[in-house]
Amino acid sequence: MKKFVRTLAVSAIWVLLAVSLCPAAEETIKIGVTAPLTGNFAEYGQDMKNANTLAVDEINAKGGVLGKKVELIIMDSKSDPKEAALIAQKFTADKSIVAQVGDFSSTACFAAAPVYERAKMVQLAPTSSHPEFTKQGEYMFTISGLQNSRTPFIVEHVLRDYLHKKKVALIYPNNDFGLAVQREFGPACEKFGLEIVGEAYFQERERDFTTLINKLRQSEPEAIYLAAMYNEAGPIARQIRRAGWDVPLVGCSAAFSNKLIELGGDAVEGLLLDTLYTDIDPIPVVQDFVKVYSERYGKRPNFVAAQNYDAIRMIFEAITRANSTDRTAIRDQLLKIKDFDGVTGIFHFEPDRTVARKYLILGIEKGQWVVKADKRR
């Protein structure tokens, strides 16, 4: 019996020693990040990875959150709905992962939402702007302005007030994002006294827009709202100009990238769009972020980087306020944060978990982005 007790005691000592030498899962706070690191939106996926990594390194340098280091688990969704849902299953099954940031596209976010909702894990989407996204459950959040606020903003403040146009046309992709814009565009134009003289959609991998352009040109719009990503908006603009059509172009925030200027060239000169962030914003919180990000990654941060940076810092804030890594507690505290001062502005979440914020109007002049109007202040 004494030998058994001694053996048991020695075993216990070894277990305690092993625990002291090997970091426990509880010693780190894990946050999942889903991003398109490969595929059509790989540039944006890398921006997501960079910004989240920067934010985590900064918080860890200050002692972490609740005295624990933060660890990122980053997985490549390719912006594919099936991949996003599979990753969601992996993240939610891992009890050490307390919240998720991502995905890039609304389509990928939608596919993963039921999985996060069942697991009661926060799904904080930095760039999803579909008005139905946060209605997928009680754990869906977005810091991107939704199309039911952004599309009316474009119609009122850009097409009507800035360009003074009456007859407009819409070009949009045949996906969740594009269809959301299309649904909001009509009511917004009616509200603000504009007439829609033409609409046309395209498929995501389409490259020849000749038929679409000829159709809209016959309707003689005074301006076109081009609701497309940079990799689509650039080629469409080039083909519009190649056809000899000098109609004014208005883009959406999803096209805000230097890649748009690279792909569109002279064809996007004069294009206007809305955004909640620009690296030329002179306020200190933005310029500090731009300086650190640029020095680390060798390029200036775009809106995707900025929104991801703010999104994960809101997760840190919620965990700190909750004094807990409980998944539900994080969700509850996100709703209580008021006037979060981020690089994308001052904002908070509404009870339906959409974001309350305002926007900038940017334009392209001589191949450079410039601030045309600031409606946030």
pLDDT in the model for residue 13 = 40
pLDDT of the residue at 312: 98
Instruction: For residues 87 and 32, give the distance between their C-alpha atoms in angstroms, rounded to a whole number.
Output: 9
Alpha carbon distance 6, 208 (integer Å): 79
pLDDT at 254: 85
Q: Report the alpha-carbon distance of residue 178 to residue 225 in Å, rounded.
A: 12
Q: What would the two tokens of residue 16 be? A: 């305690």
- Name the pTM for this structure: 0.74
**Region of residue 221 (left: phi > 0; alpha: psi -120 to 50; beta: else):** beta
CA distances from 96 to 32, 52, 334, 340, 343 (A): 10, 18, 19, 26, 29
Q: What is the DSSP letter of 225?
A: E
Residues of the chain with pLDDT under 70: 1-26, 377
At residue 377, the pLDDT reads 64
Going by C-alpha positions, the residue among 279, 325, 363, 309 that lies closest to residue 143 is: 309
Read off the tokens for 349.
Answer: 């979440």
Distance (Å, whole) CA 215 – CA 201: 11
Taken in order of first residue, the domains within the chain and their CATH numbers are 25-145+282-356 (3.40.50.2300), 148-275 (3.40.50.2300)
Listed in sequence order, the DSSP H helices in the chain are 2-21, 42-61, 81-93, 106-119, 147-153, 176-191, 210-217, 230-242, 258-264, 284-297, 303-322, 327-334
Quick one: pLDDT at residue 9? Answer: 45
Could you tell me how many residues make up the chain?
A: 377
pLDDT of residue 332: 98
